[in-house]
């Protein structure tokens, strides 16, 4: 089984992916991590992440081990990720890894759940279930702000909101695989839902969708 989870930054896709993975025995791939690893490699090379040649070389150098690097969560890396993600050569270089993971998850799993921006539209258009997870920019900024406070990172709510709005605009406006729901995606708006309610709603939507599929 392949589950595609798409949606804007800080909509709760990561938490949802982990909980769905544990319920349905699926391997998880946070595809944003691949773009972050590309952005980090581009920064570390000393080149400009907006330069297609620098970004493509960085994408081709990404290894599975990169995904465990704590530096991937840094703000500067998130910003670089959003820049390299708009470059078609980067997206092409990362596509095979994502498709291979979806169709050949590690041994012991019954499938995979991939979260990102273009999983249902480009990476796995044949996914068994596609969820488009969203929430208002304010709700997402409030969650991200609380997370940062809990980690002891000093931040300003208005800056967090501005960052989310800028990232949405970049992810939705780019020409290469823009963020948008697949035609056959189920939409899940988590603005008024906590993590438990979002998980329950998603699990119900998936169970209903799978029960309608022919065996
Ligand atoms: O979900 P995230 O914040 O870790 O993603 C980092 C960046 O990568 C974000 O700007 C969008 C981009 N991305 C993408 O273009 N396609 C994906 N499948 C996943 C992430």
* 160-195 pLDDT per residue, tens: 999 899 889 988 998 988 999 999 999 999 999 999
**Is residue 140 lining ligand 1, measured as CB closer than 6 Å?**
no
Which residue lies with its CA nearest to atom 1 of ligand 1?
32
CA–centroid distance, 114 to ligand 1, in Å, is 12
β partners of residue 29: 114
Residue 164's Cβ-count burial label (10 Å; 0-12, 13-18, 19+) is buried
**Is residue 49 lining ligand 1, measured as CB closer than 6 Å?**
no
What's the rounded Cα separation, in Å, for the pair 98 and 96? 5
- pLDDT over 90, % of the chain: 83
> Residue 72 pLDDT more than 60?
yes
Q: What's phi and psi for 120, nearest 5 deg? A: -75, -25
Q: Which pTM was predicted?
A: 0.93
Handedness of CA 193, 195, 197, 199 (dihedral sign): positive
At residue 180, the pLDDT reads: 93
Tokens read off for 172: 């939705």
Q: Read off the pLDDT of each residue in 48-68 and give the average, rounded to a whole number.
A: 96
**Is residue 32 lining ligand 1, measured as CB closer than 6 Å?**
yes
Tokens read off for 18: 């982990």
Tokens read off for 159: 């800056």
**Is residue 11 lining ligand 1, measured as CB closer than 6 Å?**
no
DSSP H helices, 48-176, are 52-61, 75-84, 88-103, 137-150, 157-173
Residue 214: pLDDT band (50, 70, 90) is low
Residue 94: pLDDT band (50, 70, 90) is very high
Domains present along the chain, CATH in parentheses: 2-200 (3.40.50.300)
At residue 153, the pLDDT reads: 85
At residue 215, the pLDDT reads: 55
What's the rounded Cα separation, in Å, for the pair 192 and 203? 17
Q: Read off the pLDDT of each residue in 7-25 and give the average, rounded to a whole number.
A: 95
| CB atoms near residue 201 (< 10 Å) | 17
């Amino acid at each position: 089984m392949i589950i595609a989870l798409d949606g804007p930054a800080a909509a709760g896709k990561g938490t949802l992916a982990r909980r769905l993975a544990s319920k349905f025995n699926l391997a998880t791939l946070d595809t944003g991590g691949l773009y972050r690893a590309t952005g980090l490699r581009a920064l570390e090379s000393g080149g400009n992440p907006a330069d297609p040649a620098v970004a493509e070389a960085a994408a081709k150098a990404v290894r599975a081990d990169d995904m465990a690097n704590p530096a991937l969560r840094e703000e500067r890396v998130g910003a670089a990720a959003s820049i390299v993600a708009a470059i078609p050569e980067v997206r092409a270089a990362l596509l095979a890894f994502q498709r291979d993971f979806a169709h050949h998850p590690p041994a012991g799993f019954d499938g995979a759940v991939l979260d990102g921006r273009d999983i249902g539209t480009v990476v796995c258009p044949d996914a068994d279930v596609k969820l488009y997870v969203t929430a208002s920019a304010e709700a997402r900024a409030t969650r991200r702000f609380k997370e940062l406070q809990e980690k002891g990172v000093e931040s300003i709510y208005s800056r967090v909101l501005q960052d989310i709005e800028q990232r949405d605009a970049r992810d939705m406006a780019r020409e290469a695989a823009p963020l948008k729901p697949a035609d056959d995606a189920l939409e899940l708006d988590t603005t008024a839902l906590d993590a438990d309610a979002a998980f329950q709603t998603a699990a119900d939507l998936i169970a209903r969708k799978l029960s309608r599929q022919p065996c």
